[in-house]
Chain A
Amino acid sequence: MALKLKFNSSEPGFWVSGVAHAALLGAALVGLSFTEEFPDAEEGIPVEIITDNQFSQITKGETSAKEVLPTPKPRADRIADKVEQRDPGEDKRDAPAPPKRPEEMKVAEKEEPVAAQPPPPPPPPKPSQAEAEAKAKAEEQLKLAEKAEAEAIAKAAEAKAKAEADAKAKAEAEAKAEAEARKVAEAKAKAEAEAKAKAEAEAKKVAEAKAKAEAEAKARKEAQAAKKLDMGDIRQFLDNKERNQSTGATGSEVQKTASLGTATGTAAKLNPSMRDALGGILKEQMERCYQPPIGAAGSSVALPMLDVRFNPDGSLANEPRIIRSGPNPIDRTVAEAALRAVRRCAPYNIPAKFAPYYSDWKAWNIEFETNQI
């Protein structure tokens, strides 16, 4: 080794290199001392590959079970309180409506001014009756007064016409009559006003009592709502140290050992070849009843799609519907004709081997192929 350990200005290589390496190592020790961790990777999911046939034959049960039982069922610890069975046509899942605030519940931000609310207008039935009566009375009295006046006038006229000599006396009498009539009218009006005031006061009392009762009822209801809210208080949730857990599997009947299968398996599913076979059988039967509408032959027609529901015996469960048809009138007539054909051929002859799969072919969408029909 021709390296000299003493510094030599003409051959400074060793020192330059050594210092550079030391610096680099120091930098690397500082800079590369912390390695970044990978983000937590998720564990791989074990995948099992199965065939189409196997998939369509998955029975209801649990994947951890040992064998397929003769009557494949999932495990159930006790009988469910509520058994719900729905037709295949229903929606896949339930979307519950969002919870609603009870109408009577107090709203924190907006305190309803219960007491300050003006009392509701006096209920019409009673007061109106009283008023009407009073009015009618007043009217009657007015009429009477008018009548009296008119009578008096008539009398006066008569008297005038009879004799003008006793004009004074008569005038006096007239005045008297008039005064009397007025007196009577006034008295009557007074009575009327009194009656009216009385009726009004009564009505007011009744209305007030009613309003009070209503307010009380409302307050009671609010108190009840508040109590109810307390039950599910957030604090209660927070204080609850228990883990959330299930009360156990439920079913329509108790089943201690689960069958081998999956939670979603329904087994009575047609496999593709069987599905094709059943489709062919149905189509063949429908074709017999199909009368092509005039004008449909030769032209290219969009294929109609029908929704047909069957009973287990092959009859139609309800009216078939057109799900899809072309936009042209001809397309529509073809779809109608197909519908008629389905209806006309109604009890369909479905082989017994498809009977176990009834839940699968219960609702059947049929696409009519025009070159066949």
Chain B
Amino acid sequence: MNPADVAQAAPVAHDMSLFGLFWQAHFVVKLVMVGLLAASVWCWAIIVDKTLLYSRTKRAMDRFEEVFWSGQSLEELYRSLQSRNSTGLAAVFVAAMREWKRSFEGSGRSFQSLPQRIDKVLDVTIQREVERLNARLTVLASIGSAGPYIGLFGTVVGIMNSFTSIAASKNTSLAVVAPGIAEALFATAIGLFAAIPAVLAYNKLQSEVGKLQSRLEGFADEFSAILSRQIDERIGHAGHHPANAA
């Protein structure tokens, strides 16, 4: 077969448009492409959600700190936040206050290990909050690290497939080899298309989670310091109500 004829016949046999590339690909390659495209959609969904969530959380923290340091009675603040499903700093505050309250309710006052218990509660709440912020970030990490490999797998399968057809047609002209390889490389392209934003977003979001976590911990430390001071005062002259402290 004359290579010139092959070159002429090639555009007819191989539609090099984006859809053509997908449609002529091997079944496995198609599957890889579809999977990677879905992964890209998912990963961008997570990126959008997380970005919104973090900015919301940050704003909520700003607002809470403003209220908290405004000199408002902690009891009042607790009552206003208690009923709501609060997050962030508010959740930490509510958890600690609940523990505090429980210690003073009923007959048996248990001051002995109250600071330790409050610390525990604070730790657990912070952990829960961070977990909530971190949720689904691992998906980004997975897509970021595995995407290129999945794409590469598609490419390897595609190239294997095209080499098999080259062997079958006994023609090594570039016009015969090129379309198959282009199809195969398309899989890697989609893999990288999904993975690159995932990696970048993962790093950015991770650092933001770190910032929020340190802010939560800082607040928890401050709040537990306030509470333990209160406890010490209560032990000194028992009978006072903690709500009057702040």
Residues of A within 8 A of B (CB): 1-3, 10-18, 20-21, 25, 28-29, 32-35
Bound: A16/B45 CA distance, A = 7
Q: How far is the CB of B194 from chain A (nearest CB, A)?
A: 10
Which A residues lie within 8 Å of B70 (CB)? none
Q: Could you tell me which residues of chain B, from 83 to 116, have a CB within 8 Å of some CB in chain A?
A: none
- The tally of residues in B whose CB lies under 8 Å from a CB in A reads 21
Number of A-B contacts (CB under 8 A): 57
A29 touches B17 (CB 8 A): yes
B52 touches A35 (CB 8 A): no
With contacts A20-B44, A29-B17, A33-B18 known, what are 7 further pairs, Cβ within 8 A? A11-B49, A12-B52, A16-B44, A21-B44, A29-B18, A32-B18, A33-B19
Which A residues lie within 8 Å of B18 (CB)? 25, 28-29, 32-33
A17 touches B19 (CB 8 A): no
B44 touches A32 (CB 8 A): no
Bound: A83/B44 CA distance, A = 84
A29 touches B19 (CB 8 A): yes
B17 touches A13 (CB 8 A): no
Which A residues lie within 8 Å of B16 (CB)? 35
Name the residue on A nearest B193 (C-beta): A24
Which A residues lie within 8 Å of B42 (CB)? 1, 3, 14, 17
0 or 1 for each of B127-145: is its CB under 8 Å from A? (1 = yes): 0000000011000000000
What are the 3 A-B residue pairs with the smallest beta carbon separation, nearest first? A17-B44, A13-B49, A13-B45
Interface CB pairs A-B, < 8 A, 14: A1-B42, A13-B48, A13-B50, A13-B52, A14-B42, A16-B44, A16-B45, A17-B41, A17-B47, A29-B17, A32-B17, A33-B17, A33-B19, A35-B17
Name the residue on B nearest A3 (C-beta): B45
B40 touches A21 (CB 8 A): yes
Bound: A2/B44 CA distance, A = 14
Which A residues lie within 8 Å of B41 (CB)? 14, 17-18, 21
Q: Could you tell me which residues of chain B, from 1 to 26, have a CB within 8 Å of some CB in chain A?
A: 16-19
Bound: A332/B115 CA distance, A = 116
Q: How far is the CB of A23 from chain B (nearest CB, A)?
A: 12
Which B residues lie within 8 Å of A17 (CB)? 41-45, 47-48
A11 touches B19 (CB 8 A): no
Q: Answer whether residue B37 sits at the interface, using C-beta atoms and an 8 A cutoff.
A: yes
A13 touches B46 (CB 8 A): yes
Q: Could you tell me which residues of chain B, from 53 to 99, have a CB within 8 Å of some CB in chain A?
A: 53, 56
